[in-house]
Each structure stands twice: as C-alpha cells, then as structure tokens.
Amino acid sequence: MAEMLRILLLEDSTIDAELIEAQLESLHETFEVKRVATRAAYQAALAQDTFDIILSDFSLPDFDGMAALDLAVASAPDAPFIFVSGVLGEDAAIEAFRKGATDYVLKQRLARLPAAVTRALNEARERAERRRIELQKDLLVRELSHRVKNNLAVVLSLIRRTGRNCKSVAEFEEKLAARVSALADAHELLFEGNWDETELLSVFQRAVRPHNKDLSRFDIGRHDLVRLDPRTALSIGMVFNELVTNASKYGALANDQGRVSVTWTVDRTDSGRSVRLNWAERGGPIVKAPDEEGFGTRLIKANIEYELGGQANLHYPPDGFKAQIDLTMPESDTARILSA
C-alpha cells in the first residue's frame, strides 16, 4: 500500500485553500493536507510533523513567503517548496529560487499545480535515492576495506603459524595453499549470497568439495537449518577445512573404507539459541592422540573459542577422531539460528 502524501499548505484564504485542494485531487497519489495560516502555526507544524511537500502563499498577514521559505529550508530541507501566489514578480521569483524554492504557480493558473507538485516530488525522490545509493556505496567501501584488512591479517597469521610446523618448503606450500584456498572458498560462497546470511550446510559442502566432491564418504545426519552471518561463516569454513584435511591425511578419509558422520542441532537456551555440531570418524587408521597440539588444532580452537565465543572439544579414541563444537548466539545477533 502506497504511503499517504503529506502536504503542508500555508494559506490564509479559505477560498484559495479550497481551490488549491480541489486541484490536488487530480494527483495520482492519496494525500492529506495540513493547512496553517499563521507564522506560529507554520513553525509548530514544521517542528512536530514531517511533510513531503510544502505549498505556500507569498503574501501573508503576519509574515511573508520568503520567511516561510527560510524556515522550511532550515527545518525541512528535503521537502520541495512551491509558492502558490496571486502575484510573484520576476525579481521575487529569482530570489526565491536562489534561496531554495522548487517552483511557483500563479493562482490564476492553478491547473498547473498538480504537474508542478508531481515534478517536484519526483525530483525529490530521485535526490533521496541518489543519497541512499551514495551512502550505501560509502558503507560498502568501508566494509570492504575492513574485511580486506582482516583477511590480510588472517593470511599473515596463517603464513607465520603454518611455517612453524613445517619441515620443508614443499610441506609449507601445500598446507598454506590449502588454508588460503579454504578462506577463498568461503569468500566465494558469501559473494554468491551477496554477503548476506549463509546456511551452515552450504558452508560445509563448500569446505568438503576440494576433498570429496560427491560427499560419498560423509554421513550427514540431523542438520537443522542454521543461518550464519559472514564473519561466522568464514570461521566455520576454516574449521571444516581443518577437520576435512586432518581426516584426509590421518583419519577416516585416509583409506578407502573410512567414513565421517556429521550432525548439527539447534536448541533454545536462556540467552538465545545454541547449535551443537558433532564430527565423528570411523573405519580409518587407529587414532593416537598427538604429543603436542598442532597448528590445525589451534586454528580450530581459535576460530570457535576466540572468534565466536564457543567451545571446541576434540577427542582421540582409537576407533576414530571426534569433535564436538558448541556455539551460542543471542536472538538479536545478525547470525540467526533457526530450527528447521
């Protein structure tokens, strides 16, 4: 339903006001007119209400149209201002335009009023749309700059930390390329969704794709609908990449028989909603807990515990590696979690 067009009419003559409103009936929009006749009432209307357009007489008993224009420019700069006057000389018209008036219509030619109002409103809406686009562009540029800085910081951290645990240049290149590619894949998914919320299932599928394109080695159990904001999706994507990489090299995906079970469920809590993700491997080589925590494990915990404020519990029973990840997000968070 279209919004009601609000018109402020400054006119001391009742007859002229009725004639003006009769001409406005031909507008293609529904409207309401608030008529005022004095300076005090005009100022009160500008202070208390918002108007789409202002129509004003030029000659008034207690103040003139130029003063009314000045008040409108100060209080309602986005509302077009049109003089509707019996007499408006050329010098006065030029001065009015200089001060910010949109148009003027002579009372002897009121038939021109609807077209003048329509044109003024269209121009005002175009200006508002251009401002909105410019504001959106500025916000996007700032957001892009922020994300680029964050991503470069992540990449620098990956370079430093990956290098500490590698015994050769080839190993360093392989691990770093895989992690940067995982970050790029997550970005690609978010870009495809216009950097809006992304489903956890899509993040999982994109992270698994380089390792197991058809998901044939994964048993996906219960998976409630979970929508993640961009920041959360990037972190979860990096976590999935580490889990799949570890399974491919040392766990269930390192042979032809092993499988991975994945589930995630949503529950309501006092502080919002929580999601629990379970990762369980079976059928792979016998598992042995590592002697020391590697960078992949630290990366998982950093993304879950530091970035997202959740918990990551990793277990190494002989029959298969297991991970349980818990996240809690308030209802007000951008990253909403919705039960299927």
Please write the tens of the pLDDT for every residue from 159-175: 766 766 677 878 777 77
Residue 1: exposed, middle, or buried by beta-carbon count in 10 A (0-12, 13-18, 19+)? exposed
Low-confidence stretches of the chain (pLDDT beneath 50) = 1, 332-340
Q: 5-128: which CATH topology?
A: Rossmann fold (3.40.50)
The radius of gyration of the chain's CA atoms, rounded to the nearest angstrom, is: 33
In tens, the pLDDT along 327-338 reads 987 654 434 444
Of 94, 12, 15, 3, nearest to 55 (Cα)?
A: 12
At 277 the pLDDT is 94
Of 329, 297, 328, nearest to 313 (Cα)?
A: 297
At 337 the pLDDT is 41
Residue ranges of domains in the chain: 5-128, 165-329
Helix (H) or strand (E) holding 221: strand 218-223
| CA separation for the pair 48, 334 (Å, rounded) | 34
What is the β-pairing status of strands 311-315 and 322-329? antiparallel
The residues pairing with 281 across neighbouring beta strands, listed in sequence order, are 260
At 54 the pLDDT is 95
Extract the runs of DSSP E, i.e. beta strands, from 243-285. 259-269, 272-282
Assess if CATH 3.40.1280.10 describes domain 165-329: no
Is-same-fold flag (5-128; 165-329)?
Answer: no
| CA separation for the pair 39, 76 (Å, rounded) | 15
Of 103, 108, 61, 65, nearest to 86 (Cα)?
A: 108
pTM, full prediction: 0.52
State phi, psi for 81 to the nearest 5 degrees.
Answer: -125, 120
At 48 the pLDDT is 93
At 1 the pLDDT is 47
At 340 the pLDDT is 37
